[in-house]
């Protein structure tokens, strides 16, 4: 199993770079950041510094979207970083939540997302692609490689990930839901004539190592609020108890009363007060190292290739070090 570190690009950028260097020293193979231009600093600028200050770490957004930047700009940015640092980027992509909504736009449609996946990959790898009816190619790309991993929750999005993406990003660590969603993605890949086992499966969730579970839950409760945004969209689209989305995912948002993006992804987010302890325990990894290892073994047995640690809480360095000392040696590939 590979391990990744997920950060927000809060200033100073030097701290983001420092934490990524620390992660690599501790055996992490991937470094991810949020991508929301209004809420945080521009990640692609910081990626250049991370790549320059690490040797093998692969870097990418968790996640970008088709609407913030034009597709040729996104592809060219990835291709430039790869040309400079040796094909060490990954494009995590989704419909767009905070980046689009904070800017007053709606998340992208799945049709647009599916088209963007193909175009961005093709351009970044040096092939011709059609953008807004115009055939384009980046003539300077040589031996470019850009895996595109798609984030998804709902049935249509899961199907799209299986049909088009190189990897699937699931932003929660509940074994029951992981099994259901990974199964849906792989079934879609098989229906599309693809090798379902060729898709990389990445589970991303907060991890907090320590004995004080009450404190750990409070530090990670924000994650249930963030996931709740996507779940609310699914309930609005499919309805409650529709059979299209497991009740185990949708039941907990009944007490949800809106969401304030100014606290997005942060410990103490007041918009996450509705999230019960049970959901925090199911969606996150909490407790001593042994508890993390046990849950990660379960996820690995369900086909998860990478666990990406959301490290937005008051124990960032301690979590990275604890994973490096205890968890990664027990499970790392």
What is the per-residue pLDDT across 188-211, written as a single tens digit (0 to 9) for each?
A: 999 999 999 999 999 999 999 999
- Rounded to whole angstroms, how far apart are CA atoms 51 and 124? 18
- Which residues are CB-neighbours of 70 under 8 A, at least 6 positions away? 131
- Greater confidence, 269 or 77? 77
pLDDT at 69: 95
* N-terminal to C-terminal alpha carbon distance within the chain: 5
Average pLDDT, the chain: 93
Residue 223, pLDDT > 80, answer: yes
pLDDT at 269: 77
Residue 160 — very low, low, confident or very high, per pLDDT cuts 50/70/90? very high
| 45-59, 129-143, 178-192, 243-257: range with lowest mean pLDDT | 243-257
Residue 80, pLDDT > 80, answer: yes
CA-angle at 279, arms to 300 and 222, nearest 5°: 100
* 12 preceded by a cis bond (ω within 30 of 0): yes
Question: Is the pTM value of this prediction over 0.85?
Answer: yes
**What are the backbone dihedrals phi and psi of residue 13, each rounded to the nearest 5 degrees, phi first?**
-60, -25
Residue 313, pLDDT > 90, answer: yes
pLDDT at 219: 96
User: Best-predicted range by mean pLDDT among 114-123, 172-181, 247-256?
Assistant: 114-123
3-state secondary structure 108-134: CCHHHHHHHHHHHHHHHCCCCEEECCE
pLDDT at 241: 63
* 103 preceded by a cis bond (ω within 30 of 0): no
User: 5: part of which helix (H) or strand (E)?
Assistant: strand 2-7
| 162-166, 255-259, 307-311: range with lowest mean pLDDT | 255-259
* HSE-up of residue 38 (Cα within 13 Å, Cβ side): 14
Percent of the chain with pLDDT over 90: 78
pLDDT at 105: 82
Percent of the chain with pLDDT over 70: 96
């Amino acid at each position: 199993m590979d391990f990744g570190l997920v950060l927000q690009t809060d200033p100073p950028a030097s701290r983001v770079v420092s934490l990524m260097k620390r992660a690599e020293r501790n055996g992490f193979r991937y470094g991810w950041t949020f991508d929301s231009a209004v809420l945080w600093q521009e990640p692609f600028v910081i990626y250049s510094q991370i790549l320059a200050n690490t040797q093998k770490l692969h870097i990418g957004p968790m996640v970008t979207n088709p609407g913030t930047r034009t597709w040729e700009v996104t592809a060219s940015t990835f291709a430039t970083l790869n040309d400079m640092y040796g094909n060490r980027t990954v494009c995590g992509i989704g419909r767009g939540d905070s980046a689009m909504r904070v800017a007053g736009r709606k998340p992208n449609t799945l049709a647009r997302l599916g088209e963007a996946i193909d175009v961005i990959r093709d351009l970044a790898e040096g092939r011709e692609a059609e953008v807004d009816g115009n055939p384009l190619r980046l003539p300077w790309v040589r031996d470019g490689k850009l895996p595109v991993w798609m984030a998804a929750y709902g049935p249509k999005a899961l199907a799209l990930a299986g049909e088009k993406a190189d990897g699937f990003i699931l932003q929660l660590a509940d074994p029951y839901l992981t099994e259901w969603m990974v199964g849906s993605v792989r079934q879609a890949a098989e229906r599309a004539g693809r090798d379902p086992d060729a898709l990389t499966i990445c589970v991303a969730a907060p991890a907090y190592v320590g004995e004080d579970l009450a404190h750990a839950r409070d530090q990670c409760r924000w994650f249930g609020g963030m996931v709740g945004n996507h779940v609310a969209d699914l309930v609005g689209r499919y309805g409650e108890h529709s059979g299209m989305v497991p009740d185990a995912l949708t039941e907990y948002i009944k007490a949800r009363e809106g969401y304030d993006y100014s606290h997005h992804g942060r410990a103490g987010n007041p918009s996450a007060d509705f999230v019960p302890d049970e959901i925090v325990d199911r969606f996150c990894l909490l407790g001593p190292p042994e508890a993390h290892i046990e849950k990660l073994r379960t996820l690995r047995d369900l086909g998860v290739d990478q666990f990406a640690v959301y490290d937005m809480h008051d124990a960032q360095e301690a979590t990275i070090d604890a994973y490096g000392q205890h968890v990664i040696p027990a499970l790392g590939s």
